[in-house]
Amino acid sequence: MSPVVPFSDLAAMTREIREAVDQGWERLLQGSRFIGGAAVEEFEQAWAEYCGTRHAVGVANGTDALQLTLMALGIGPGDEVVVPSNTFVASAEAVVLAGATMLLTADDLQAAITPRTRAVIVVHLYGQMPDMDALSRTADKASILLLEDAAQAHGATWHGRPAGSIGQAGCFSFYPGKNLGAFGDAGAVVTADADLAKRLRSLRDHGRVAGSHYRHELVGMNSRLDALQAVVLTAKLARLDAWNEARRSIAARYRAAFASGPIRLVEDEAGARGVYHLAVARIPDRERVRQQLTAMGIETGIHYPIPCHRQAPYVRFASGPLPVSEAAAEQVLSLPMFPHLRDDQVARVCEAVFEAVTAKEVQIA
């Protein structure tokens, strides 16, 4: 039985851009230049402009965007990078793949910095941006680099500055389910630093010397953005602001509906304008509420049930228990959120959540 309200629905977005993609792919197939070329350059330029930065380097996925950025900055064995534990595992994975170790902290960047710390990866989780002024000050004072994992925050802003444009580099994933999603894997790094952009372009293409086919100056990877995906991303970029606006108004309706109740939606910091990649509520009795919602045909998700420092390969990098991340992992529940979610569906979710949460209170009493 299909759900009354699905968690996500990519098909409606695909329909909106179908014609532009068909035309773009038709042109591409005629020229048959599938790696690099005008389609990739056009998207890179548009994405840099959208993010308010000078350069955008398309890569194969968001994890590579992070890993290549660390490589390009010379961060590797012996270095430490501070990463939050309540995030998608790729934020931490990239650090370990680059050969650096990570220090995990609940909230406090300052407390996590040691003489070996080279960088912090700030994750704009759920599409929300934290206090970037405070984080930048702390990073500057400690002379460490601030990098942004903006994989969930395409178009989010901090005092008007787009996600990805505040740190030394901003890393994006265009995985299909992200706010700006390709028809497969894709990613990009944005930066104002021309040297960094140049190193990234070389590293994503086997460390090639720019303009040379046979000379290599770095040990790189194969992590290029496909031209087919660049066409999709260019078509979707034209719709991104409207889709983000739709997500915000759905979030506003959830927020209003829950205003009097015992559950709260994860909210914007003052000064931030989120893009609600996910609509996350904190619910103490999460598992029971989730089961009840499922029974009522409401699909939900959990982001994320196991914090990174409890995942086997990363246990050894945690410096101790992380009560904030652990509590979040037990309580977070992601409600249906996608631009084409209808008003009547939002209303169904609100009613169902209210019913499920109230049932719990009756049970306790």
Ligand X SMILES: *Cc1c(COP(=O)(O)O)cnc(C)c1O
Q: Any contact of residue 149 with ligand X (CB under 6 A)?
A: yes
Q: Any contact of residue 175 with ligand X (CB under 6 A)?
A: yes
- Residues 236 and 189: their CA atoms lie apart, in Å, by 18
Write down the least CB distance from residue 193 to ligand X, Å.
21
User: Using the rule CB under 6 A, which residue among 86, 91, 105, 292 binds ligand X?
Assistant: 91
Q: Any contact of residue 325 with ligand X (CB under 6 A)?
A: no
Q: In the numeric block, which tokens belong to residue 312?
A: 């086997």
Q: Any contact of residue 151 with ligand X (CB under 6 A)?
A: yes
User: Using the rule CB under 6 A, which residue among 43, 47, 50, 88 binds ligand X?
Assistant: 88
Helix 62-72 with 194-203: angle, nearest 10 deg: 120
User: Using the rule CB under 6 A, which residue among 173, 202, 229, 300 binds ligand X?
Assistant: 173
Measured CA to CA in angstroms, residue 359 lies from 289, 292, 324, 355, 356 at distances of 9, 10, 27, 6, 5
Q: Any contact of residue 84 with ligand X (CB under 6 A)?
A: no
Closest CA to 119 of 150, 148, 90: 148
Q: In the numeric block, which tokens belong to residue 198?
A: 């140049």
Using Cβ positions, the residue closest to ligand X within the complex turns out to be: 62
Q: In the numeric block, which tokens belong to residue 128?
A: 């929300």
User: Using the rule CB under 6 A, which residue among 53, 67, 69, 87 binds ligand X?
Assistant: 87
Pairing mode of beta strands 157-158, 161-162: antiparallel
Q: Any contact of residue 205 with ligand X (CB under 6 A)?
A: no
Q: How many other CB atoms are found less than 10 A from the CB of residue 334?
A: 21
Whose tokens are 């901003």? That residue is 170
Q: In the numeric block, which tokens belong to residue 230?
A: 């660049």
**Binding region for ligand X (CB under 6 A) out of 3-11, 105-113, 144-152, 158-166:** 144-152
Whose tokens are 């706010």? That residue is 179
User: Using the rule CB under 6 A, which residue among 21, 48, 90, 349 binds ligand X?
Assistant: 90
Name residues contacting ligand X, limited to 108-137 (CB under 6 A).
Answer: 123
**Binding region for ligand X (CB under 6 A) out of 11-19, 55-63, 132-140, 160-168:** 55-63
- Residues 16 and 22: their CA atoms lie apart, in Å, by 12
Q: Any contact of residue 187 with ligand X (CB under 6 A)?
A: yes
Site residues (vs ligand X, CB under 6 A): 61-63, 87-88, 90-91, 123, 149, 151-152, 173, 175, 185, 187
